[in-house]
Structure 1
Amino acid sequence: MWLIDQRAEQAISQARREGLFDHLSGAGRPQQLEDDSLVPAHLRAGYRLLKNAGYLPPELEARKEYLRLTDLLAATEHHTEREKLERDLRRLEILLGERFRELPVALTQRVLHVRKTSGPA
């Protein structure tokens, strides 16, 4: 499992144990997968345009690069090239670790905000 996935799963599990998901509006109903309600209204049109044009947020670009480096590393037999790819992969892992260190805190704060504004179902 990828680092960001692990951190998100940990934060979700903790929030579930603490009951932060109890009584949320929409509980028991299917999610709207194209929901952009978390994007500020003044940015939605721009984000949708970028998404439709194939641009990814920096986090997903980094994940795409991580997967590309992993695939290259698996296919490379030359020792010098493997060392370079391993260095690049480690640099990217460090960058991603620093960038997403605050993810569990941000997720918990968002859940608390949603719970506070939606109230009991």
Structure 2
Amino acid sequence: MDWVSRIAEERIREAIERGELRNLPGEGKPLEIEDLSHVPEDLRTAYIMMRNAGIVPEEVQLAKETVTLADLLRMCRTDEERADIRKKLNERRLRLRLLMEQRGWYGAAAWDTYGERIEKRLGGDEA
């Protein structure tokens, strides 16, 4: 055991003795172990911190915006509204496609298999 672990264990033991760890949320309940096998090991801490802060990757945010704009486009009543939303939608789709190309997703086997379905689901063919 390294010195950092020893200090941490000692501080935890002292806090238990002082009663500082009583009545905490989740006390007596099993820990929920999250499966992070899909996240590279060196990125897990950053992933958890970003998730807990409510930060999502740009491509996820763009995908959500794309779906929202596609829904709005279907509900437009005037050509002027439609043109404005279509412009925003095309900008988001282009940015999303560029991000995915930069990350190498378009050449990936998974993208070859599921890419068309993903784009349809995001409203790519409906607007």
Q: 2:58 & 2:109 partners in 1: Cα distance?
A: 18
TM-score under structure 2 length normalisation: 0.49
Aligned to 1:71: 71
Task: Write the distance in 2 (CA, Å) between the matches of 1:105 and 1:87.
Answer: 27
Q: Over residues 83-105 of structure 1, what are the superposed CA-to-partner deviations in whole Å (9 max), with x where a residue is unaligned?
A: 01011111222222222233143
1:64-117 CA-to-partner distances (Å, cap 9, x unmatched) read: 110111121122212211101011111222222222233143457xxxxxxxxx
How far apart, CA to CA, are the structure 2 residues paired with 1:97 and 1:40?
A: 23
| Alignment match, 1:105 | 107
Instruction: Write the letter of the residue equivalent to 1:70.
Output: A
Matched residue, 1:83 = 83
* Cα shift at 1:52: 2.7
Whole-Å Cα distance in 1 between the matches of residues 75 and 54 of structure 2?
Answer: 27
**Between Structure 1 and Structure 2, how many residues are aligned?**
75
Work out the CA distance in 2 between the residues paired with 1:59 and 1:97: 9
SS in 2 for 1:100: helix
Q: Which runs of 5+ in 1 are unaligned?
A: 1-33, 109-121
| Structure 2 equivalent of residue 56 of structure 1 | 56
| Structure number with bigger Rg | 2
d(CA) in 1 for partners of 2:44, 2:69: 32
Measured in 2, the distance between the counterparts of 1:106 and 1:48 equals: 25
What letter is aligned with 2:107?
V
1:4-40 per-position Cα deviation (integer Å, ceiling 9, x unaligned)? xxxxxxxxxxxxxxxxxxxxxxxxxxxxxx5323434
Structure 2 regions of 5+ residues with no counterpart?
Answer: 1-33, 111-127
CA RMSD of aligned residues (A): 2.2
Query: What SS does the aligned partner of 1:39 have?
Result: coil
Within 2, Cα distance between the matches of 1:107 and 1:52?
31
Change (3 A) 1:48 1:107: farther
What percentage of residue pairs aligned between the two structures are identical? 32
Q: Comparing both chains, which one has the higher relative contact order based on Cα–Cα distances under 8 Å and sequence gaps of 6 or more?
A: 1
Aligned to 2:114: none
